[in-house]
Amino acid sequence: MIIDLRSDTVTKPTKGMLDAMMSAEVGDDVYKEDPSVNALEKRLADMFGKDQALFFPTGSMANQTALKLHTNPGEQVICDKYSHIYNYEGGGASFNSGISCKLIDGNRGMFTASQVEASINPPDFYHSPLTTLVEVENTTNKGGGACWDFEELKRIRKVCDTHNLGYHLDGARLWNALATTKEKAKDYGQLFDTISVCFSKGLGCPIGSVLIGDKDLMQGAIRVRKILGGGMRQVGYLAAAGLYALDHHLDRLSEDHKKAKEIGAVLEDLSIIAKVEPIETNIVIFELEPHVDESEFLKQLSDKDIHIIGMGSNKLRMVTHLDYTDAMHKHLLDILNEF
Ligand SMILES: *Cc1c(COP(=O)(O)O)cnc(C)c1O
């Protein structure tokens, strides 16, 4: 039994998902003639109460497209120092859009409206980059799967309105946030100008992300996607996996969250562990005591076929997911209890 908790991206399609993919109706999506892609896009636009949605191969490409839609070269996006767009998209903000990031020193990947206010460059001070966009991530990845306080997100919306800034949500794991907070997709659709969501994380698809927004902004999205090389042909085989996941894998996310909390409870009691970050969804981040060697600890686990990742500074991460079964969970807890 190999237990892979490095990420929720390691899942493989279930039999049911594969069947749905193999029997998908397809067409050329560059001509917008793929019925499965069109159905997925329509479903997400309706779910979030927005005009349009567009299918992408990756979340990075969906986020990068959003950055491009909201900004011109030389401008600046406000985001957290932990944000995926800053840390894990290969420097795409500068490469693709020619913009810089103003980083907020937030808490677990989250920040406040007053921190946003303080990060805006005065528009008439032409020495500084013009601030045009605020980006938030929910749940926060590097922040340990934390969920934002919706009231704070609303206060940030007000700041965006006052200063005429775009508001983009990186919702790669928004599904996990919705499962925990019981908020509705439409609440987010009302608040944000653009939202990206992923199907290849908790929902267990092999690939796929969607960018959602209103017509005025989204009309440029298909062109940017084409420029980035994301115009795909009979991609309905992949969109069908997304449709299947919405029907079958959304309601089970709370199981992943429950398992993550149970792992956290065991880790809390281990003497070699200094700290476990609060666990709200499917990500467990914990820190080893300073005297414990991180690579040695990782090796002890991998010798037992348990794979997790180190994040530097003695911090480690485990992520629960669809392919992490009850049997694996029981086995992992037994092994952890031996430390
Ligand atoms: C995974 C992830 C993405 C998208 O990543 P891709 O690998 O490009 O699909 C975007 N934002 C966050 C927070 C993520 O965790």
Give DSSP secondary structure letters for 25-80.
----GGGT--HHHHHHHHHHHHHHT-SEEEEES-HHHHHHHHHHHH--TT-EEEEE
Q: Phi and psi dihedrals of 304, rounded to 5?
A: -100, 20
**Domain end marker among 192, 227, 248:** 248
Atom in ligand 1 nearest the alpha carbon of residue 83: 13
Q: Output the average pLDDT for the chain.
A: 97
Query: Are 165 and 303 members of one domain?
Result: no
Taking the C-alpha atoms of residue 37 and residue 30, their distance in angstroms, rounded to an integer, is 11
pLDDT digits (tens, 9 = 90+) for 21-37: 999 999 999 999 999 99
Query: Are 152 and 70 members of one domain?
Result: yes
pLDDT digits (tens, 9 = 90+) for 42-80: 999 999 999 999 999 999 999 999 999 999 999 999 999
What is the tally of structural domains in the chain? 2
Atom in ligand 1 nearest the alpha carbon of residue 142: 13
Which residue intervals of the chain are DSSP H helices?
Answer: 15-22, 35-48, 59-70, 84-87, 92-97, 113-119, 150-163, 174-181, 185-191, 215-218, 221-227, 236-248, 253-268, 294-303, 326-337
**Domain end marker among 194, 218, 248:** 248
CATH of the domain at 305: 3.90.1150.10
Query: Are 236 and 258 members of one domain?
Result: no
Residue 94, pLDDT score = 98
pLDDT digits (tens, 9 = 90+) for 260-301: 999 999 999 999 999 999 999 999 999 999 999 999 999 999
Domain span holding position 311: 3-8+252-336
Instruction: Please list every protein residue whose CB sits less than 6 Å from any atom of ligand 1.
Output: 58-60, 63, 84, 137, 141, 170, 172, 198, 200-201, 209
The answer to whether residue 218 scores a pLDDT higher than 90 is yes
Query: Are 231 and 266 members of one domain?
Result: no
Q: How far is the CA of 201 from the centre of ligand 1 (A)?
A: 8
Taking the C-alpha atoms of residue 21 and residue 308, their distance in angstroms, rounded to an integer, is 30
Residue 221, pLDDT score = 98
Query: Are 54 and 148 members of one domain?
Result: yes
Q: How far is the CA of 170 from the centre of ligand 1 (A)?
A: 8
Query: Are 236 and 96 members of one domain?
Result: yes
Closest C-alpha to 109, from 170, 194, 21: 170
pTM over 0.85, yes/no: yes
The amino acid that residue 17 corresponds to is: M
